[in-house]
Amino acid sequence: MVYQIPYKSTLPGFPYGLLVKKSSAKYLVFYPEVLDNGTIRAIARDLVAKEFDWSAGAFTDVGRYSIESATKYANPIVFGYGIGYDFDNDRILLVVGEWDGVSKYQITTRAKLVAINRDLSGHDVLIDDILALVKQAASDVDEIRYYGHAYIHSKLGAVVVGAYAAGAERSVVIVSTDGGETWSAVRANARYDFIQERLEPFWDGDAFMGFLTEGHGTNSLWIKTDGSIRAGAPGGLYTTEPIYDMINNQIIWIEWGSGLGDVQRIWVASPRAPFDAVDVTPGGTLTDNEGNSIDLSRVCKIDGVIFTDGKNNKFVFQAYRGGIPEGESRIIATDLPVQSGNAYDIVEDSDGSDVAVRITAMRNIVRAVDPATRKLIPVPIITKVLP
């Protein structure tokens, strides 16, 4: 096994988090604290901040900021991958909706983009009505579902949301080229009219290249630094998720979504041509601690992250299906750089459990950023439970 994580917890209230580097050992951990009201587990009234000391494995409370006050929503909800970062102004970006009062999942007609200062001293509402803006590009969109994610870097801002019209997907992205002062919605359906689910900033060395999107049905996008958009994908049939490998200056693409046992691929590409990728999908099987034979080519691959333990760097993803019992998942890791012939292993905790729900911090930190270099950095292994 690759790592033994010495805890077992579902980290209640911790759906997705962002790490912001303070020093070589200390990071700030930000996450919207999620509450369960008996119907939906996405109510988030506060953004929580804790300092994490990697050398000691200890968390210290820093404070919290009222999402409820920032949005003026009675029941604010956060979306999948719903926390991002403003590299230009050192702010945490949250796409926040208002619960419709009945839905089990994140479905709303009211949503905002909020920027909260990293020191929790204040906030700005960058977009007051996301749905109204989306309608400028696709007038029939009637609700936002499931996903909402934003980043700003070098004056380029981008927001992706799950835009739906009478239950049908619409591919719409929201772009700013003036650092978030003004925003425009773009119908990004040159390839397919499927939603965008997540953003990934990426670089070619030190040159910022824009954002790639995780696109449903291979409808991925490259939002370039001038605000223009190119649609594409490395191949395959299912949702393509990009991960920037800052260690090797590569784009790793992974695929998920098959319920049929189809191959779910992995590719690598140069940041200069992110859609022109080489297929490095692993073959063979792994046997987990429960005796399941996991087909590495057929597991759905999702929530990819670059991790470090201070000496070794790993590419880690959550896997489901492909021999894993339905409703369960495992965390799978491999050395960098990702290439054909790599060995893959299942991550387990110190009690020998490799069921992913007990290793949630391996997949719940969306990304780590360094304000000094204004780049993504590897996520350090977290070895203590958030109190």
* Model confidence pLDDT, tens digit, residues 211-242: 999 999 999 999 999 999 999 999 989 999 99
Confidence of residue 365 (pLDDT cuts 50, 70, 90): confident
Higher pLDDT, 82 or 241: 241
State percent of the chain over pLDDT 90.
Answer: 77
How far apart, in Å, are the Cα atoms of 363 and each of 194, 345, 359?
Answer: 25, 15, 8
Q: How far apart are alpha carbons 95 and 130 in whole angstroms?
A: 9
How far apart, in Å, are the Cα atoms of 320 and each of 299, 303, 336, 375, 383?
Answer: 6, 11, 22, 30, 23
| Cβ-contact 362, 379 below 8 angstroms | no
DSSP state of 72: T
188-193 average pLDDT score: 96
**Residue 359 pLDDT > 80:** no
Closest residue by Cα to residue 153 from 113, 205, 93: 93
How far apart, in Å, are the Cα atoms of 379 and each of 23, 70, 99?
Answer: 13, 28, 31
DSSP state of 359: B
User: How far is CA 303 from its chain centroid?
Assistant: 7
Q: How far apart are alpha carbons 378 and 242 in whole angstroms?
A: 15
311-337 average pLDDT score: 92
Place of tokens 């490998």: 245
- pTM for the full model? 0.94
pLDDT for position 2: 37
**Residue 75 pLDDT > 60:** yes
The number of CA neighbours under 13 Å toward the Cβ of 157 is: 26
User: 198-219 b/e with 16+ CB inside 10 Å = b?
Assistant: bbbbbbeeeebbbbbbbbbbbb
pLDDT for position 295: 98
Sign of the CA dihedral 133, 134, 139, 140? negative
Lookup: tokens for 326: 């339905």
**Helix, strand or coil, per DSSP, at residue 6:** coil
Q: How far apart are alpha carbons 369 and 301 in whole angstroms?
A: 23
CATH class of 4-380: mainly beta
How far apart, in Å, are the Cα atoms of 355 and each of 138, 144, 175, 318?
Answer: 41, 32, 39, 10
Residue at 368: amino acid letter:
A
Range with top average pLDDT, 48-57, 268-277, 346-355, 359-368: 268-277
Q: Parallel, antiparallel, or unpaired for β 91-98 and 76-86?
A: antiparallel
pLDDT for position 58: 75
Confidence of residue 15 (pLDDT cuts 50, 70, 90): low
pLDDT for position 81: 85
pLDDT for position 202: 98
